[in-house]
């Protein structure tokens, strides 16, 4: 491997390591071209049997963006402190759907792979994201005129970050929390807990 690709790879690993869910957003609009790049990455994700059953909706229209916000639930462990504050709400959304007419096989895996591609591509462009499964799918379907054949998997809230959450080693509780300065702390299980090499020894 040459020096250039080594540097690119370690940058990629750093992006993955430092990615955190963002729930407070700067109101600067994201260029549509950048969102399209992320969406393209979602579309290039692996899928079972290469069936590519997913469809995607990018939402940037201001009225629609405002109408989507009340359909979402944020940061269940720290309600209401985890909600985006007024003036700090997402500026765009990315909806991932499964086209049932193509296939429902392994659809959550497929959606997960595509969404993670989207999130990491966004991170590389300094766009913050929050993966949201707690969404009122019926209302979202009506609002965005999503046909019944498309199952709504998740919606990804997007915007430039206006918070800097920190990761910390989990000791006895996986629940994320906010400190007195409003910094979000995200406990993660250690590699020692989640990984073994060659054989599983407890």
Ligand X SMILES: Cc1cc2nc3c(=O)[nH]c(=O)nc-3n(C[C@H](O)[C@H](O)[C@H](O)COP(=O)(O)O)c2cc1C
Cβ proximity to ligand X: between 8 and 190 the closer is 190
On whether the CB atoms of residues 57 and 97 are closer than 8 A, the answer is yes
Cβ proximity to ligand X: between 53 and 90 the closer is 90
Enumerate residues 2-21 that contact ligand X by CB under 6 A.
Answer: 20-21
Locate 44 and state its tokens. Answer: 């290039």
Residue 74 is a binding residue for ligand X (CB under 6 A): yes
Give least dist CB 101 to ligand X, A.
Answer: 24
Give least dist CB 124 to ligand X, A.
Answer: 16
Three-state SS across the chain? Answer: CCHHHHHHHHHHHHHHHHCCCCCCEECCCCCHHHHHHHHHHHHCCCCHHHCCCEEEEEECCHHHHHHHHHHECCCHHHCCCCCCCCCCCCCEEEEEEEECCCCCCCHHHHHHHHHHHHHHHHHHCCCEEEEECCECHHHHHHHHCCCCCEEEEEEEEEEEECCCCEEEECCCCCCCEECCCCCEEEEECCHHHHCCCCCCCC
Residue 131 is a binding residue for ligand X (CB under 6 A): yes
Give least dist CB 54 to ligand X, A.
Answer: 15
Residue 151 is a binding residue for ligand X (CB under 6 A): no
Residue 75 is a binding residue for ligand X (CB under 6 A): yes
Cβ proximity to ligand X: between 55 and 137 the closer is 137
From CA 70, how far away is CA 55, in angstroms rounded?
23
Residue 26-65 contact track with ligand X, rule CB under 6 A, x = bound: ----------------------------------------
Among the listed ranges 1-9, 72-80, 96-104, 192-200, the one in contact with ligand X (CB under 6 A) is 72-80
Among the listed ranges 8-16, 60-68, 130-138, 193-201, the one in contact with ligand X (CB under 6 A) is 130-138
- Residue appearing with tokens 């405002």: 66
Cβ proximity to ligand X: between 90 and 165 the closer is 165
On whether the CB atoms of residues 154 and 135 are closer than 8 A, the answer is yes
- Given candidates 16, 36, 44, 133, which one binds ligand X under the rule CB under 6 A? 133
Residue ranges binding ligand X (CB under 6 A): 20-21, 73-75, 130-134, 165, 176, 186
């Amino acid at each position: 491997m040459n020096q250039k690709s080594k540097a690119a790879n370690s940058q990629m690993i750093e992006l993955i390591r430092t990615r955190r869910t963002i729930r407070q957003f700067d109101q600067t609009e994201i260029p549509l071209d950048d969102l399209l790049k992320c969406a393209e990455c979602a579309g290039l994700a692996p899928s079972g049997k290469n069936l590519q059953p997913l469809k995607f909706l990018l939402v940037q229209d201001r009225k629609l963006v405002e109408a989507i916000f009340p359909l979402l639930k944020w940061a269940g462990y720290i309600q209401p402190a985890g909600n985006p504050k007024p003036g700090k709400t997402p500026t765009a959304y990315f909806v991932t759907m499964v086209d049932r007419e193509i296939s429902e096989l392994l659809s959550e895996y497929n959606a997960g792979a595509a969404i993670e591609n989207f999130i990491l591509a966004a991170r590389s462009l300094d766009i913050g994201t929050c993966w949201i499964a707690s969404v009122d799918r019926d209302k979202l379907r009506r609002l965005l005129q999503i046909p019944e054949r498309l199952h709504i998997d998740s919606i990804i809230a997007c915007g430039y970050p206006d918070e800097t959450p920190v990761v910390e080693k989990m000791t006895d509780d996986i629940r994320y929390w906010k400190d007195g300065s409003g910094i979000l702390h995200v406990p993660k299980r250690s590699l020692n807990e989640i990984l073994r090499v060659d054989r599983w020894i407890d």
